[in-house]
Amino acid sequence: MKKENLILDREESKKITGFASIDKPWNKFYRKEPIRNIKLNQTIYNMIFDENKDNMNEEALGYLGVNLTFKDLKERVDQFADSLIKNGVKQNDVILMGVSNSPEAIISLLAINKIGAISKWFDIRANENDIKEYANSSNCKLMITFDMLIPKISSVINDTNINNVVVITPVDSLPIVKQKIYKLKCLKEKTYIEIPKDNKFITFNKFIKLGDKNSDISSVEFDATRPSIMIQSSGTTGKPKTIVHSDSSCVNCTNKMAYSDLPLGSGKKILVALPPWIAYGLGNAILMPLAYGTKVELCPNFDPDTVLKYVGKFTISFAAPFHYRYLKEHFNELTKEQKENFKMIDCFVSGGDKISVEENAEFEKVFGTVLVNGYGNNEGWGVLTVNPTLHNKYGTVGIPKYGDLIISYDVNNQTENKYGELGEICSLTDTSLLYYQDNEEETKKIKQIHSDGKSWIHTGDLGYIDEDGFIHLKGRARRVIIRLGFKISAYTIEDKISQHPAVKECVAISVKDEQEEHVPMVYIKLKDEYKNISGSIENDIYEKCKKELKEYEIPKHFKIVDELPYTQNGKYDFVLLEKQGNEYVENLSKENKVLKKEIK
């Protein structure tokens, strides 16, 4: 598609008042016509299948070499929906989703949506107590899960109201022969997980057969106020919360993003190297492209080499910065044929962490195609901003979705800042969460009424907007650690460690890491009576973290200190602690390298 067909007339954005919300300087970067005209006021189920009614025989999903057309997908969704109803699932029931990317996960989501029930998604690395809390807080009676979670679920299921657990294995979509090979491999490696001989547990393939393939159940009517998807936050804005969205968030986001110049649509193939328990993965990388008729290639895991392994199978990818860094580092190891496959790639899309000006330029030089960075959060249904592919501005996170407003906000004066002035990034969008479940106080903090009488999302991130409408992020008002693209709340780590009887104070920070880019490090001040046994206490705290935190939340470094530094305002000096922490890790790395040389 030619550039002039994508970009609006620049005359529309000439007037400059100094305020982005009035000038809307980003208007000149949208398509004249959307990728596809997405009807508003419809359910997610209807959006996927009604928007594709004329191309039902085209491929919708790809997974480990198996492909499903939109027709195949709809038949399985309708059958699974019938199974849910026959098993007593009703409108507004909440179904707990402990799954990763697979056709079965998407089938489950769309079937749940069709009957007006609610899917509640969480990170599959959650511990037993977390799973119990997720189930009980929403009174879940049915759970759909990957087999790897069975040991955790079995240990807490009697403390919940869950009556049925539908178990998915990573190979359920594959031919029987490959399923048997997978089982033999797991048995050999001692990783095979037996489904309990308990009538509460049933395999996905058995459960779906309980439904009628020719079911004539109608989709529920659209209701913008009805919850449809819950996302369990990682707690990056404090303690973990349950984010509640309606169909409206997903449909409106899909409609707005159709005006971006991302190369999506019928005939395109998108690689999803992201988990489905975040809105960026579920909403932006899976449901949105499906609505445009784009084939979605699902990755069952999200290792750093994921994008590299799938080159040749996609025209655009949605991934995290660490995927592209790995790709660049290993680019010279590729064969000539593998490098040729880069020619079919229209665009790389990145989100979840900052990419510098220099790094973005280097990526595009090596890959020979554009790499755009975006920004968002679960509360805004993933994407809030993304760079235009034809006007990619390095070092920024792009422009707002079509029709949205984003401002830099002066919290003290409660006014919009002018171009170039630093403030909290706030978004006015109709893809906003409905509320945090059972948490009115936190809902009011993130959804605030401004002087215009409208409800704005307060992101907690600091930044400014330039005169072209591009957002420049400059830090976080709330403390977040990003480890291989996954967001970790410093508060979550501190809460757990502070509960240890020997701990007087603790502070979690982010430090650089050679393997994982950034990892959590914790400074700990002990109570006086425990200082003489600090070594054993440190081990004890580590074991507590292993037991009570998610795997990726466990700090990589622990440092016992006599005192913690404070600023003149009496607050912890996080800047100094991060500086000292990075020096500590750097020296530790040097010592380890010297030790390895001596051993050799």
Verify that 89 and 143 share a domain, yes or no. Answer: yes
Of 210, 243, 276, which marks where a domain is finished?
A: 243
Domain CATH code at residue 135: 3.40.50.980
Do residues 489 and 233 touch, judged by C-beta distance below 8 A? no
Verify that 465 and 510 share a domain, yes or no. Answer: no
| Tokens 């949105």 -> residue | 288
Verify that 472 and 338 share a domain, yes or no. Answer: yes
Helix 321-329, helix 357-367: angle, nearest 10: 50
Of 455, 476, 497, which marks where a domain is finished?
A: 476
Q: Does residue 47 fall inside a structural domain?
A: no
Q: Does residue 380 fall inside a structural domain?
A: yes
Please give the residue range of the domain that contains residue 226.
67-243
Q: Does residue 48 fall inside a structural domain?
A: no
Verify that 335 and 421 share a domain, yes or no. Answer: yes
pTM: 0.86
Verify that 410 and 539 share a domain, yes or no. Answer: no
Per-residue pLDDT for the chain (600 aa), expressed as one digit of tens each?
Answer: 344 345 444 445 556 899 999 999 999 999 999 999 999 999 999 999 999 999 999 999 999 999 999 999 999 999 999 999 999 999 999 999 999 999 999 999 999 999 999 999 999 989 999 999 999 999 999 999 999 999 999 999 999 999 999 999 999 999 999 999 988 998 998 888 999 988 999 999 999 999 998 888 999 999 999 999 999 986 555 577 999 999 999 999 999 999 999 999 999 999 999 999 999 999 999 999 999 999 999 999 999 999 999 999 999 999 999 899 999 999 999 999 999 999 999 999 998 777 889 999 999 999 999 999 999 999 999 999 999 999 999 999 999 999 999 999 998 899 999 999 999 999 999 999 999 999 999 999 999 999 999 999 999 888 999 999 999 988 766 678 888 888 788 878 998 999 999 999 999 999 999 888 899 999 999 999 998 888 889 999 999 999 999 889 999 999 999 999 976 556 788 889 999 999 999 998 887 765 555 555
Q: How many CB atoms lie within 10 A of CB 181?
A: 13
Minimal CA–CA distance to 308: which of 387, 366, 356? 366
Residue 429 to residue 381: CA distance in whole angstroms:
10
Q: Does residue 269 fall inside a structural domain?
A: no
99: tokens are: 């799954």
Residue 236 to residue 52: CA distance in whole angstroms:
36
Q: Can you say how many angstroms the Cα of residue 358 is from the centroid of all Cα atoms in its chain?
A: 25
Residue 94 to residue 341: CA distance in whole angstroms:
43
